[in-house]
Structure 1
Amino acid sequence: METEAVLKKKIALACKLTDKDQIKRMNELHQTLFKKVSRTVEHPTSYELVFNGTDNAIIGELAEFMKFERLCCPWLVFHLTFQPEEGPISIEMGDSAQTKEMVYLVMELEKLEKRAVR
């Protein structure tokens, strides 16, 4: 298994997003969206971020987030799920052990896990 530093360097080199305004907006979305995560679910080959509530703004933010992430990381697989009856919305990212590890690092999920424990 590669070290975290080596993986972060590979991720930075692989990122296809180069426009400074797009990078700034993607970082803003990370900050905004991750504050709204109610829980993180670890799957065998992916991570799922679950958002409670019916905040319609989150739908647009998630769409924009996926647009930028697809530009940055074209290898990443997304699954967006809307539960019935105004239930939670979730986004699952990854489709292999390697992409799962990269998602964990790129999305800084350890910060979400620490926040959720408080």
Structure 2
Amino acid sequence: MKTTLLSGLLWLIALACLGQTAKKMEHTAKLKEKIALACKLTDKDQIKRMQQLHQTLFKKIDKTIEGPTSYELVFDNADSTLSKDLFDFIQFERLCCPWLNFQLTYLPGEGPVSLKMGNSVETKEMVYLVMELDKLPKPR
């Protein structure tokens, strides 16, 4: 009897987890659809640009700070090309993501440079998807 109850409870937990996964997948699909509708770039352009960013600019990120409504990319060691790369990145992303807020901060002296993106929970989720933040190099 106890085994049957325990098995039943485990099945209920498993079904609840599957339901949550399905809801999350549906939510992600809806966000991707919104992004696709707003974006003025082709899929080829987006894919090519993301590959370039992950090979160049995104490798320079020292840490990613997740806020309640945004992500902040921090570059501790700004090199001579970082500013241009960041401005190019923002110009490109404004074509793809016209709904997104960008905040670029240069701290005094040789301090870090940071780029904050997002302004709501939904835009934060979109940033995570569009920028493929899960593929960023781990902090050094």
The Cα shift of 1:83 comes to 1.0
Asked if the contact 1:26/1:65 (under 8 Å) is kept, the reply is: no
CA distance 1:9–1:30, shift in 2 (3 Å): farther
Unpaired runs of at least 5, structure 1: none
In the alignment of these two chains, the number of paired residues is 115
Alignment of 1:31-110 (within 5 A): 31-110=55-134
Which of residues 18, 35, 49 in structure 2 aligns to 1:26?
49
CA distance 1:81–1:8, shift in 2 (3 Å): same
Structure 1 segments of 4 or more deviating over 4 A? 22-25
- Greater relative CO (CA pairs within 8 A, separation 6+): 1
Structure 2 Cα separation of the partners of residues 63 and 78 of structure 1: 11
Percent identity at matched positions? Answer: 61
TM-score normalized by the length of structure 2: 0.71
TM-score normalized by the length of structure 1: 0.83
- Larger CA Rg, structure 1 vs 2: 2
Unpaired runs of at least 5, structure 2: 1-23
The Cα shift of 1:19 comes to 9.8
- 1:8 is matched with 32
Structure 1 Cα separation of the partners of residues 86 and 79 of structure 2: 11
Structure 2 Cα separation of the partners of residues 50 and 117 of structure 1: 10
CA distance 1:16–1:105, shift in 2 (3 Å): same
Q: Which has the larger share of helix?
A: 2
Structure 1 Cα separation of the partners of residues 133 and 90 of structure 2: 16
SS in 2 for 1:3: helix
The Cα shift of 1:80 comes to 0.1
